Structure 1
Amino acid sequence: MRFSLSTWNINSVRLRIDLVAKFLKSERPDVLCLQETKCPDDAFPLKRFKRLGYEHVALNGQKGYHGVAIVSRLPFASTDIRVFCENLDSRHISVAFAPEHTASPLVVHNFYVPAGGDIPDPALNPKFKHKLAFLDEMKSCEPLHPQGDARHILVGDLNVAPHEHDVWSHKQLLKVVSHTPVECEKLLAAQHQGGWLDVARERIALSEKIYTWWSYRAADWTIANRGRRLDHIWVSPALGPCVQDYKVLRDARGWDRPSDHVPVTVVMEL
């Protein structure tokens, strides 16, 4: 069974619903995980997604900030929402798909990790302190430690570019939030604790640049190309051999009124 999943920080699903529709019509992933939907659940554009063929929707939204959603052409067997740092920000949702040829369900976790503000000092910046605590809780969260034949996928805007070539300049960004050593260490610790495989870096050498985000502040993002890889797809070891393809839709950054993030897609043979 071919299965495709995309993740995209859309930076307001209602503002950019036409871009989402354009992407879905073109790429047709089985599942799309969205972050920063900035939309309460009762205002989510359900009808538009259903017209596009995505009839199954799991929501964890809030007005004006954060928010995550999973839209799917396949039915869910169950959904779940976890709270991190005792904070009710809408930053996680997971779904399970019923197995077809195996006893192991397919579980998808969708995350929007806190951005962390501008000052990389938890003593001076509560947002950065929150981000570090959130990453610590991801590491210690038992449901994020898939074992044996468990088929799990963890995706989302994790707001950390953990490797040297996940950013345009390792040296210049060492003191910039999203690439500071403490953030990188904590995200990699969460990945390693759960046994997750980072699909991008399993398929693309650490020596090669990969970006999924380009700042709005650049006068011409294509010329500056000062990107960061903030959007991730991890799979449990059981799914590692199933991965067939991985792609970053860089062109989406140049669409009309785009998000500063672009869609990232994994294709698997289950």
Structure 2
Amino acid sequence: MVSVATWNINSVRLRMPLVERFLAEQAPDVLCLQEIKCQEHQFPAKAFADLGYVHQAIHGQKGYHGVATVSRLPFREFSRHDWQDNGEARHVGVELPDHDGLIVENVYIPAGGDEPDREKNPKFGQKLDFLERMTRWAEAIDRPTLLVGDFNVAPLDCDVYDHKALLKVVSHTPIEVETLGLLQGAHGWVDLGRKHIPAPERNYSWWSYRTYWQGKDRGRRLDHMWASPDLAAQSRVHTIAEHTRNWEQPSDHVPLVTEFDL
């Protein structure tokens, strides 16, 4: 059994006590973090190593974005792609040679700004272009792969608290949903969140800091774990660590964890 977790931590240095608490509680074999918001030399590598996560692949930058994958299982760094073609640190992939050569791709897809219009808001166009480049990449994948991270898109009507109200809000617009769907189809990815928690069951991973999260429950499913079809068949348990949103100074995202028979 191998367990993999993904979490947009929204500053790993600020929230390292929460990460330590989560790892002590859940003990995933592999943890993929997004928005670490630090350069590689600033990453709390020793703190992770002290917890047993001695294998680390860090792709960081100053102050923004950044991804890191840490593991108790041996891995080698496998890939780094700049799908935005602008130097931002948004992806790192690793290979676990002792576990069927599993590839774990950790990605932080751009949020896309506030206006869902490529002409008025270049960030929105960059997000769509990022997804299109990922789609070309996914077409060539030829081995069992797990793609995880903050995709910044809630694809299904039931992946947001109010479908009609959010149709013109970035993260749930029809063009984003369509573009993400092309990425999913390019490799036949299986959405593990909906394999194990079928639509239309409630399934959120993000709540804005602007609203009391639990009282109004204005959630969106922005974080995802997708697997190659053969790998998806080996997934046994998928959980959402929603309780972490109640912790002191939480991230606005919560972790997802999937266990595989590997």
Same fold, TM-score > 0.5, yes or no:
yes
Return the letter of the residue paired with 1:107.
Answer: I
Match of 2:103 in 1: 107
Unaligned 5+ residue runs, structure 1?
none
Deviation at 1:77, TM superposition (A): 3.2
Alignment of 1:165 with 2:161, yes or no, is no
- Amino acid in structure 1 at the alignment position of 2:101: P
In the alignment, what sits opposite 1:90? 89
Per-residue displacement from partner, 1:169-219 (whole Å, max 9, x unpaired)?
00000000000000011111101111110001112222212100000000x
Q: CA deviation at 1:79?
A: 2.9
CA distance in 2, matches of 1:16, 1:85: 27
- The partner residue of 1:216 within 184, 187, 209 is 209
What amino acid sits opposite 2:124 in the alignment? F
The one-character-per-residue Cα deviations of 1:32-62 (angstroms, maximum 9, x if unpaired) are: 0000000000000011001111001001000
C-alpha distance in 2 between matches for 1:80 and 1:58: 10
Task: Give 2:9's aligned residue.
Answer: 10
Match of 2:223 among 226, 231, 236: 231
Structure 2 SS opposite 1:21 = helix
Matched, 1:191 2:184: yes
The CA distance in 1 between the partners of 2:231 and 2:122, in whole Å, is: 37
Q: Quote how far apart the aligned CAs of 1:82 are.
A: 0.9
Query: Structure 1 residue 244 and structure 2 residue 240: aligned?
Result: no
Say how many residue pairs are matched. 262
Residue 27 of structure 1 pairs with residue 26 of structure 2 = yes
Alpha-carbon distance in 2 for matches of 1:145, 1:237: 15
Instruction: Please name the residue that 1:202 is paired with.
Output: 195
Provide Cα deviations, 1:93-135, integer angstroms capped at 9, x if missing partner.
00001145xxx51100000000001001010001111001111
> How far apart, CA to CA, are the structure 1 residues paired with 2:77 and 2:114?
37
Give, in whole Å, the separation in 2 of the partners of 1:97 and 1:244: 19
SS in 2 for 1:141: helix
Asked if the contact 1:146/1:236 (under 8 Å) is kept, the reply is: no
Structure 1 CA distance for aligned equivalents of residues 3 and 260 of structure 2: 6
CA contact (8 A) 1:114 1:131 kept: yes
Q: Secondary structure at the match of 1:175?
A: coil
- Would the aligned equivalents of 2:153 and 2:177 in 1 still touch at CA under 8 Å? yes
Cα RMSD for the two superposed structures: 1.1
2:244 is paired with a residue of what secondary structure?
helix
Per-residue deviation at 1:146?
3.2
Q: Kindly indicate whether the alpha-carbon contact (under 8 Å) linking 1:10 and 1:35 is maintained by their aligned counterparts in 2.
A: yes
The answer (yes or no) to whether the contact 1:57–1:70 under 8 Å persists in 2 is: yes
SS of residue matched to 1:178: coil
Q: How many Å apart are 1:78 and its aligned residue? A: 3.5
Deviation at 1:29? 0.1
| Correspondence for 2:251 | 259
Cα distance between partner residues in 2 of 1:217 and 1:68: 25
| 3-state SS, counterpart of residue 233 of structure 2 | helix
Cα distance in 2 between the residues matched to 1:155 and 1:145: 18
Q: What does residue range 106-185 of structure 1 map to in structure 2 within 5 Å?
A: 106-142=102-138, 145-147=140-142, 150-185=143-178
Q: Which runs of 5+ in 2 are unaligned?
A: none
1:83 shift after superposition? 1.2
Is 2:52 aligned against 1:53?
A: yes
1:145 is displaced (CA, Å) by: 4.3
**What letter matches 1:10 in structure 2?**
I
